Structures are given as structure tokens and as C-alpha cells.
Structure 1
Amino acid sequence: MIKRAENSDLQEIKKLTEACAEAMIAQGIYQWNEHYPSIEKLQADVEKKELFKLVSKDVIMGIIVLTPVKDEEYDPINWLSKTENNLYVHRLATHPEQWGSGLGQELMDFAENFAREEKYESVRLDTFSLNKRNHKFYEARGYKRLGNIYFPKQSEAPFYCYELLL
């Protein structure tokens, strides 16, 4: 089941993101670290009602942030949709023990269905350039790679921006 996260979920969600960061670093993927995502960032996501959790047997197995707010880092990208009526995906994570089990697909199905129901024109996101598994994941779902952005606190390597027109 996927539903909005609450403040009482924050510690469990933070542990999930820390496990993801450790597992990615072990694979040489420096996408997340001790600075990102911070508990403050996750709490702000909850307060804005933009953080959703995937729960199985009372355990949070994954998260996703869905927001209509376009970060300024995205300004240089030549997006496919020419309006501002777009949904942005951030902080998609599933527990490393569940990687490859379809939970990421379930969260993205939820995001795309949510976007359609709310009448957004597209779904936009970014993913780390060195995370080749994510590139295949999004491209297999029909997302188009459009350009690069940078988050120096996370990595010197770029992040690729993707968009799916609905």
C-alpha cells in the first residue's frame, strides 16, 4: 500500500535512505551521502504532504516524493512539456534488500497514475549519471533524457534529467 508519510515515520524513513546510501556507495555510486537526504529535507517533504511511503506488513519498504515545484537547478533544461503543469519525482528509494523486486516500478506506477489523475502534463525527474541501472529503469518506462544538472554537495558528476509526457 502507498500512502502519505507522517512525522511519526521519519526515523524509519531516514534509516531506509541511509541503507540506500550505504548500498549505493558500496557499488561505487555516490548519489546519496551523509548530507542527502537530510532528516530536515524529509521532514519538509512530510509537512508539504509530498512524501509517500510504500508499506508492506507495517514496514516502510520504499518512498517517493511527488511535487509540482520546479527546482531552480532545472531551469537550463529544455523540457518536452512547455508548461509549468508538471510533476517532479524526488528521493525515490526502496530498501536495498528489495532491489530488483519491483517496488521501484510500483512507486513509479503510483507517481505516473497520480500525475494523470491530477492532470499534469508530464513527470520529470533527475538521476545520477553514474547510476546506470536507473538510466535503464527510466528509459524502459519511456522517459526521455534531456540534459544534465549538478548538485555539488552530492557529487561532482552530473545528474541526468528525464521527462515522460503523459
Structure 2
Amino acid sequence: MINVSDQHVQHAPRSLIVTLYGAYGRFAPGPVPVAELIRLLAAVGVDAPSVRSSVSRLKRRGLLLPARTAEGAAGYGLSDEARQLLEDGDRRVYATAPHEDEGWVLAVFSVPESERQKRHVLRSRLAGLGFGTAAPGVWIAPARLYEETRHALGRLGLDSY
């Protein structure tokens, strides 16, 4: 058996919590108790205050929703937005090989100079989704990324560009 604490790879508590919810928590019949998150992450060297802080940040971002378990313990469930993010990720990670005739999706946009920060976020998000630049303001990706892109840009309020 591998002792995870012997590994020298450190992951952010937030990333570990999202991974736990993505792999197990979203299929749980109710909210995941905070005490269980603390116990599970302690096994990989994350202390309780770090878990609580990360949970608080995920809650503030609207990804986790506070709820009581059937036993009355404090816990958290996934928001609809978080579920959508995980489903989008599943489609990317577990997608079958594309067909040669799959097609392409183009993202054509124009963001005013006065909104330069939004332009940067838009470009960064498209690159992160797997798009490449075809020309200034024109990005291209396999057609299978359309739905995920639509969701991502909508969440960020960038779909009007």
C-alpha cells in the first residue's frame, strides 16, 4: 500500500475538496459532513483550519451550499453551478475520441479597450477550454466543446461578447 503522506506532492486543500466532491460527494444521498471532509483530508496532511477555510471560500464562491445531514451534523452539498462545472469536466476528461467529421466551433468576439480585463479573462478561459487562435478575436476548437464553452462564458458573464 502507498502511504500518501510519504509523497512530496502537495495539493491545495480547495483542489482536494473539489476532487472529493467530484469523485464521491456529488453521488452521496445528502450533504457531506464537514467532520468527514476534515477526517479525509487529514489523511493526506491537510489540517482542520485549512479545510474549514477552503470550504468557506468554496461556499462564498457559490459552489458549496450549507446543509444539515440526516443526523443533524453540519455539512455541505454541491450547488447547481458546481454540478454543472463537474459535468462539463466529465465530458472533457471522459470524452470518446472525436470523429473526423465532428466539426468545429468558432468563438468570434470583440471586447472594447475599456473592458480590457474582461478580454483577458475571455481569452484565458477559451485557452483553458482548449481553443486556439485562428485570427485576432477569432478562436477555434472541436465542436464537442460548444456546450462547455457556452456554460463557462455564461457563468463568467462573458457570453454577450
Shorter-chain TM-score: which interval? under 0.3
Please report the TM-score for the alignment, with normalisation by the length of structure 1. 0.24
TM-score by length of 2: 0.24
Greater fraction of residues in helix: 2
Structure showing greater radius of gyration is 2
- Which is strand-richer, 1 or 2? 1
